[in-house]
Structure 1
Amino acid sequence: MSIKKSLLVVALVLLVDQVTKIYIKTHFEYEHSVDIFSWFKIYFIENSGAAWGTKLSDFLPISESAGKLILTIFRLFAIAGIGYWLWDIIKKQSPRTLILAVSLIFAGALGNIIDSVFYGVVFDDSFGKVATLFSDDPYGKLFHGRVVDMLYFPMIDTTWPDWVPYFGGKSFRFFEPVFNIADTAISTGVGILIVFNKKAFPKVEKKKED
């Protein structure tokens, strides 16, 4: 897979990711939802932490603002590492499967870091109103933006039977997380590496067999 095709994949993922996020941010109030199907909703929330809203301040004796800054800087280093990996495997003419997977992972990571770095200074708040792009009163500052999520698939929304130990009577929902296009690209890239591992790393597999 050539570098032009890899960059095309990255550019397409970034375009779709950012267009959907900007649309949601400028058309939805926070926690507003639209039912597409009974099992699929567009549900606007924002994530200021890591996966599932986890924050460093939940585990370390630091402020939420400091934790957000550390997380964003860590993501920048991670993206630099993934970017170097992508460039290296293209240079070495690695299998197409591996390049495609890493391209998706890189694009997804880059899509979310754009939110974290810039959204705090280009948008105002979405609480109780629709946000404005390039607002004169932004909700945050550089490196302190919140990631926009909107894809929600509550395919099962029910209650555990009373006879089930511990969980009886409690609500059960699958699939709970709300995510975005960038997250989808990352998950797809990781999935490709897992499912098509032998195609992605044929030399490694050959050495193991030898």
Structure 2
Amino acid sequence: MRIPRIAWAAYGFALAVIVIDQITKAMILGSADVADSRLIPDGYLFASVIPGVLDFTMVRNTGVSFGLLGGGSARWALTVFSIIVAIALAVWAVRAERRTLISAIGLVMGGAIGNVIDRIQYGYVVDFIDFSDTGLFPWVFNVADSAITVGVVLLILDSLRPEASAQVGAAHEKS
């Protein structure tokens, strides 16, 4: 099977997200003066980057993006689900032709895999970007969560484009 060049762009976006996500998590975890990251207490303040606005705070996320559906009992189910989503997105990228769609696929795929790596390695996702002091955004998140969110927004925007809607309609008429 020949993979079109545009699909490689999605895979490149995914790889970039994974690398940036894992590097930032390693830097944050490495900034604590402990031999094992499991010794870092939940809620540990690594740094107050912009006091009252942005902190880097340790949160063990056992749920999905932004800590939703947490609890830890779904670790492996969420891991398998995320891997299936990433595979489906990789296949979709082979058929995608629009740049916005390719970007969205790559971002979501990379974010999903970045968080899967954490679930396998730690049993939870490392979240640390914390805007909760503003009172506007109570969740603590990471680069992978951000990529997933931006990717989903791009998927929605792409689906609203007139040519995207026409292609969906044409696909339904053929079936």
Superposition TM-score tier, normalisation by shorter sequence: 0.7 to 0.9
3-state secondary structure, aligned to 2:161? helix
Query: Alignment length, in residue pairs?
Result: 156
Cα shift at 1:206: 7.1
Structure 2 unaligned spans of 5+: 33-39, 171-175
Instruction: Provide the residue aligned with 1:110 in structure 2.
Output: 113
Q: Per the alignment, do residues 81 and 181 of structure 1 end up closer, same or farther by CA in structure 2, a change over 3 Å counting? A: same
Partner of 2:93: 86
Among 26, 40, 65, the residue aligned to 2:54: 40
Distance, in Å, in 1 between the alignment partners of 2:168 and 2:89 is 22
Gaps of 5+ in 1: 58-63, 121-144, 157-172
Q: Which residue in the other structure is 2:150 paired with? A: 188
Residue 124 (structure 2) aligned to one of 97, 122, 146: 146
Q: What letter is aligned with 1:82?
A: L
- Aligned AA for 2:11? L
What is the deviation of 1:24? 1.5
Distance 1:6 1:72, change over 3 A: closer
Shift of 1:32: 1.9
Query: What is the deviation of 1:155?
Result: 5.6
Secondary structure of 1:109 counterpart? helix
CA gap of 1:56–1:189, structure 2 versus 1, over 3 A, is same
Alignment of structure 1 residues 12-161 onto 2, 5 Å: 12-28=16-32, 29-30=40-41, 31-33=43-45, 34-37=47-50, 38-51=52-65, 52-55=67-70, 64=73, 67-89=74-96, 94-117=97-120, 119-120=121-122, 145-154=123-132, 156=134
State the TM-score, normalized to the length of structure 1: 0.64
Once the two structures are superposed, what CA deviation does each residue of 1:141-177 show, in whole Å capped at 9, x if it has no partner?
Answer: xxxx211101111363xxxxxxxxxxxxxxxx32101
The 1:18/1:107 distance shift into structure 2, 3 A limit, reads same
What letter matches 1:191 in structure 2? V
Q: Which one has the bigger helix percentage?
A: 2
| AA of the residue aligned to 2:136 | F
Larger-Rg structure: 1
Provide Cα deviations, 1:14-51, integer angstroms capped at 9, x if missing partner: 11100011112222333222111121111111112234
